[in-house]
Amino acid sequence: MMGMKVMLVLYLMILPLTLAQLKVGFYSDSCPQAESIVQAAVLKRFSSDKSITAALLRMHFHDCFVRGCDASILIDSTSQNQSEKVAGPNLTVRGYELIDEAKKTLESVCASKVSCADIITLATRDAVVLSGGPSYAVPTGRRDGRVSNPSEVNLPGPSLPVSQAFQTFMNKNMTMDDMVTLLGAHTVGVAHCNFFSDRISGRGDRRMDPALLAKLKGICGAASGSNPNPTAFLDQGTSFTVDNEFFRQIRLKRGVMKIDQELANDRLSRGFVSRFASNSTLFRTRFAQAMVKMGNIEVLVGNAGEIRKNCRVINAK
Ligand code: HEM
Ligand SMILES: *[C@@H]1O[C@H](CO)[C@@H](O)[C@H](O)[C@H]1NC(C)=O
Ligand SMILES: *[C@@H]1O[C@H](CO)[C@@H](O)[C@H](O)[C@H]1NC(C)=O
Ligand SMILES: *[C@@H]1O[C@H](CO)[C@@H](O)[C@H](O)[C@H]1NC(C)=O
Ligand SMILES: CC(=O)N[C@H]1CO[C@H](CO)[C@@H](O)[C@@H]1O
């Protein structure tokens, strides 16, 4: 009896070492202000730029789907070699300065404690709340990676059929429900014309609402030397609000990119789309869960990786 108790105690002591994992409030001892510092930086930016929510959601997705959520997306290229940022899909990822700003304050208050990967995750959560989305607790304790390689950037393109886009999500152990939920992030933000020009040339995609087709032709047709690749909102209803309106819009044939429209048409995904369109509570609940799940993809924990001092630069050995 006694022996078993001792073993149990030993087991419970060793458990955190062997199964190091993320937990809510990871910084409550090492840097109690961590979450409020990130939140303040996001609030400051949001008050002058509501599009920061879209920027952070996309940054978080791109980070987590390449080498896991390890802030590899933040690394700048060096004179010796190139980082993920030079890969095609990165092109228009924005918001790097906000992460830098939060990091600068964090380093001055508790140096080398809070990872850049956690900053991205927390900042995204805070921005989602400010844009009317659900609030959720974010497990933290991620460590930053020491590798950033453009050849590893293998993100799905916007013209893939649902089944093929799903392959990339399945590779990350995400379900179709997760994928449809997360694509609900297209409830905010914009796409550049080059990502949907195939749908609006000539008579246009017959699966597109004619009024939207005319509108997009107008936007993209106005391309000019100073603005060669204009943008259109992804959600024609509430373009700056994290809500289920995106799902209603695609059911009305108002998806801008092919992947968005196909979600509403494809039998693999349309059931999820119709449930999210009609039940805002369901979308909010599932979106929070799916964001936490995405934030857990292939994370570095314990002693793996490092806590970067500058989010753009791998620490010197
Ligand atoms: C099959 C999966 C996905 C594809 C093919 C895809 C593709 C794209 C493309 C091509 C753009 C336009 C980028 C531009 O023109 O600058 C975009 C924008 C965006 N994506 Fe996705 N995406 C996917 C999944 C996701 C996920 C999982 C999230 C987040 C949870 C996300 C969040 C966003 C946001 C917020 C924007 C707007 C960015 C901005 O306004 O700066 N996307 N996506
Ligand atoms: C540079 O190359 C090394 C070795 O291949 C790699 O670990 C590192 O992540 C690369 N990228 C940058 C930006 O240093
Ligand atoms: C997916 O799950 C399998 C089995 O649990 C695991 O071996 C694999 O590492 C997971 N992949 C990712 C990307 O989390
Ligand atoms: C909407 O979703 C919530 C949360 O999953 C669920 O409890 C509720 O029953 C759903 N409402 C309807 C009308 O289906
Ligand atoms: C922010 C950033 O570094 N973007 C880069 C993305 O990739 C292109 C090349 O494909 C670079 O020119 C950008 O600077």
Give, using CA atoms, the residue closest to atom 8 of ligand 5. Answer: 86
Distance 298 CA to ligand 3 centre (A): 8
Type of residue at 59: M
The residue from 45, 58, 60, 62 that is catalytic is: 62
Locate the domains of the chain by residue range.
22-152, 162-294
Phi, psi (degrees; rounded to nearest 5) at 208: -105, 135
Which two three-digit tokens encode residue 91? Answer: 């092109």
Residue ID of nearest Cα to ligand 2 atom 13 = 83
> Is residue 121 within 8 Å of residue 295, measured between CB atoms?
yes
In this prediction, residue 18 carries a pLDDT of 46
With CA atoms as reference, report the closest residue to 89 among 53, 63, 117, 54. 63
Output the CA 317–ligand 3 centroid distance in Å. 30
The tens digit of pLDDT for each residue in 190-202 reads 999 999 999 999 9
Per-residue pLDDT at 137? 97
Q: Which tokens hold the place of 218?
A: 């107008």
Q: Using CA atoms, how far apart are residues 166 and 152, in angstroms rounded to an integer?
A: 18
- Point out the ligand nearest to the CA of residue 163: 1
d(CA 165, CA 198): 18
Ligand 3 probe mutation, 170, 173, 174, 296, most atoms within 8 A of CB: 173
Which pTM was predicted?
0.91
Cα distance between residue 291 and residue 274, in whole Å: 20
**SS3 label, residue 314:** coil
Give the pLDDT confidence score for residue 101 in this predicted structure.
98
CB of 170 closer than 6 A to ligand 3? no
The answer to whether 46 and 58 have CB atoms below 8 angstroms apart is no
Minimum-distance ligand 1 atom for the alpha carbon of 234: 37
Measure CA 36 to chain center. Answer: 20
Please give the distance, rounded to the nearest whole angstrom, from the Cα atom of residue 270 to the centre of ligand 2. Answer: 41
- For 251, the 3-state DSSP assignment is helix
Q: Are strands 139-140 and 190-192 parallel, antiparallel or unpaired?
A: unpaired
Residue ranges in the chain modelled with pLDDT below 70: 1-20, 87-91
Residue with tokens 């979450």: 35
Q: Which long-range contacts (CB under 8 A, 24 or more apart) does 16-19 make?
A: 17/302
Query: What span, in angstroms and rounded, lies between the C-alpha atoms of 112 and 194?
Result: 41
Angle at 54 between CA 49 and CA 58, to 5 degrees: 140
Q: What does the alpha-carbon distance between residue 121 and residue 256 come to, in Å, rounded to a whole number?
A: 27
CATH of domain 22-152: 1.10.520.10
The candidate with the shortest Cα–Cα distance to 275, out of 258, 289, 287, is 287
Smallest CA-to-CA distance from 26 within 117, 138, 127, 106 is with: 138
pLDDT of residue 152: 72
The protein residue whose alpha carbon is closest to atom 3 in ligand 4 is 282
pLDDT of residue 78: 85
162-294 CATH = 1.10.420.10
Does any ligand 4 atom lie closer than 6 A to the CB of residue 279? yes
Q: Which atom of ligand 2 is nearest to the CA of 146?
A: 9
Residues in the ligand 2 pocket, defined by CB under 6 Å: 75, 77-78, 81, 83, 147-149, 314
